[in-house]
Chains A and B, each alone.
Chain A
Amino acid sequence: MTRQIKSKPLLAVQDLHTHFHTFAGTVKAVNGVSFEVGAGEVMGLVGESGGGKSVVGFSILGLIDSPGKIEGGQILLDGQDLVSAGENRLRQVRGREISMVFQDPMTSLNPLHTVGRQMDEVLCLHSDLDAAARKQACIDMLESVGISRAEERLKAYPHQFSGGMRQRVVIAIAMLARPRLIIADEPTTALDVTIQSQILKLMRQQIADKGASMILITHDLAVVSEMADHITVLYCGNVVERGKTRELIETPTHPYTRGLIDSIPDTAERHDRLKQIPGSVPDIRNLPKGCNFKDRCPRAQALCAEREPTLTAQHGSLWAACHFPLKPGELA
């Protein structure tokens, strides 16, 4: 990704800080995150729990409630800042320009309303179609996500669908207003592996057909490596590495990325022991000085405790925040 040449990304997140002010202290869930998503591009946001990846997604849509607050940074959609935009502007953005697919299809649909009504709501808000046209649009969309007998199914309630079908409905709702960006937060984590592959295939196809972009938030590197063009790896609310998918998976330069990849048991090769990252994620209310990863890092030196590393260009398309990055082919 040659950042200078790319004229104008669809979405640019710049130095985003989202903090939660709790009685136990300030939780810096997102602490200076920057990335860009180009038109028609799939960007994978990866990390372990507590990395801040979901909070990034919620921040983009302005869905941060008290005690959380966006403390700094910009979220530029087509060059227009969403952080400083008012609630009215955000309501235009949500669903129409940026829509969201949540992890749990059980809880992201309203159990008291029919699927048809929940789909219709999107079009009522974001289109000027009449009732008959809206209904037809809903039927077409349900069919395009692989739900048969769509007209009948519009009258069904969410509990009458299985988990995979419900996630198809959620995707259909997200695609209805033809948004330019879809934020999918762990869209297949609650699903079985054969259903997961169906849903991923569907999402890929929908994005390609409609020319939308996507931010795919997941903890699963395997899923992201099959879906994304670019990957951004988060750790403790910071970007530790980003770059093109294949380069990042094959020759990562940050020891955390390397560790994540090595801890995945792989069916192609078998080792007696998995490589593991020692220790666990530090308490984000109380982050250590310097690099957040230094206590778990095999390469840590004195410098890592003193100064926080910043994102610097590595080989190829990769950028990493590390004082002692790995060279291509080098193991941690």
Chain B
Amino acid sequence: MTLTPDPMLEVRDLEMHFPIGGGLLDRLKLDSGGLRLENPIVRAVNGVSFSIGRGEIMALVGESGCGKSTVAKTIARIYKPTVGEIHVDGEDIAGHGFAEMLPVRAKMQMIFQDPYASLNPRQKVRDIVAEPLLEQAKTAADRKAVPDQIEKLLARVGLNAEHAGRYPHQFSGGQRQRIGIARALSVTPGLIVADEPVSALDVSIQAQILNLMKDLRDEFGLAYLFISHDLSVVHHIADRVGVMYLGFMVENAPRDVLFSRPRHPYTRALLSAAPSIKPKRSSEEIVLSGEVPSALDLPEGCCFRTRCPFAWDRCARERPALQDVGDGQTVACHLTDEPERDRP
């Protein structure tokens, strides 16, 4: 992977496993004559590393269950990572407790997917946006400045001052997402983790929010970790794109490189599956059969081999590691070593 000097966020070998509980009787399994207590674990994220420079927009794409949202929530420390390091502005926060996280939250904020569920319905907009500010305020003077700041923030995201006294249900989806953005922006963070921020919105509103997020990046030098399943949105907003599958990063490249020369078979399949309003030009279409395997029971070797049209015996034996292929592109696929196998 490329090393950005002085990155805003650096993630190293992040793993996130969730044990799924269940009663004793559910977990007891008869195994070759004896009883065994099973401990099923969902391996949501399996060793993901990447970094985001200041003012850079990095997108993570993949299908549902690929671990992209888990990565976002682990970085925002909603989850405590099983293994790995998360450096925000140089500070490793992977093991931080609640109190230690408080100053970090002034540098990193989150925008959520569902603008209906991520705002407290009993709080006025003013109080929603004020909360991070008051949480971070150190002096009485800081607290006194809050109302002024709220007005400025609301204006910046395209809401007006009279909206401050209203409740979330009085707003449309797009306006609610603006409130969420104002809340994230309130403490002037350097990094915003945005988990599918536009996927619940209609396309005309989606364009408004994407434009706003881009303008804010230019104005405040924000870095975004932008989670999305929508390739066209990612192509529009990201500088760099990481493709995830089953909790692994399979490809990571600058946007233009990824969209013009995707290397991993999964990336190629994703790109050719995306519907477009333009008539399809390329006939080089990889159509995937089957579905994503369960994260409870990861395949041996390459995670993608069960659906990959190129897979051969090496893919079952050996898990491919991310390899640098030039132009800032890294790919985890054995085809990089044996390109002659790259034909259907």
Seen from chain A, the residues whose Cβ lies within 8 Å of a Cβ on chain B are 48-49, 162, 164-165, 192-198, 200-201, 219-223, 225-226, 246, 249, 259-268, 270, 272-278, 280-281
Contacts and interface: CB of A to CB of B under 8 A. Distances in A.
A296 B237 CA distance: 24
A219 B207 CA distance: 14
A139 B216 CA distance: 56
Interface in B184-229: 202-208, 210-211, 214, 229
Given A222-B276, A265-B210, A267-B235, A194 B204 contact: no
A167 to B, nearest CB: 11
B95 interface: no
Contacts of A193: 63, 229, 231, 270, 273-275
Contact of B277 (A194, A221, A259, A274): A221
A272 B276 CA distance: 19
B64 interface: yes
B127 to A, nearest CB: 24
B291 interface: yes
Interface in B35-66: 63-64
5 contacts: A195-B63, A222-B277, A225-B275, A280-B205, A281-B172
| Closest 5 A/B residue pairs (Cβ) | A265-B236, A263-B207, A192-B63, A222-B275, A277-B204
Pick the most buried of A193, A196, A201: most chain B CB atoms within 10 A of its CB: A193
B64 A192 contact: yes
Nearest to B272: A197
Nearest to B287: A197
Contacts of A219: 202-203
How extensive is the interface on chain B, given as a class? 35 or more
Contacts of A259: 204
B175 interface: yes
A91 B124 CA distance: 49
B278 interface: yes
Contact of A48 (B203, B277, B289): B203
B116 interface: no
Given A277-B208, A280-B174, 4 more contacts: A48-B203, A246-B279, A263-B203, A280-B205
Interface string B149-163: 000000000000000
B288 interface: yes
Interface in B265-287: 269-271, 273-280, 287
B233 interface: yes
A101 B277 CA distance: 23
A225 B237 CA distance: 24
B197 to A, nearest CB: 14
Given A192-B64, A193-B274, A220-B275, A266 B232 contact: yes
A194 B273 contact: yes
Nearest to A47: B202
B310 to A, nearest CB: 16
Given A48-B202, A261-B277, A277-B204, A162 B210 contact: no
A300 to B, nearest CB: 16
Contact of A270 (B63, B236, B275): B236
Contacts of B172: 280-281
Given A192-B63, A265-B233, A270-B235, A260 B275 contact: no
Given A162-B291, A267-B235, A196 B275 contact: yes
Contacts of B63: 192-195
A225 B12 CA distance: 42
B259 A275 contact: no
Nearest to A246: B279
Contacts of A268: 276, 278
B229 A277 contact: no
Given A226-B275, A267-B231, A48 B204 contact: yes
Given A192-B64, A265-B232, A267-B231, A274 B205 contact: no
B273 A277 contact: no
A234 B259 CA distance: 33
A94 B205 CA distance: 36
A261 B278 CA distance: 11
A266 B236 CA distance: 7
A49 B232 CA distance: 20
Pick the most buried of B175, B210, B236, B287: most chain A CB atoms within 10 A of its CB: B236
Contact of B208 (A196, A226, A276): A276
Contacts of B202: 48-49, 219, 281
A192 B270 CA distance: 10
Contacts of B236: 265, 270, 274
A116 B104 CA distance: 55
A264 B275 contact: no
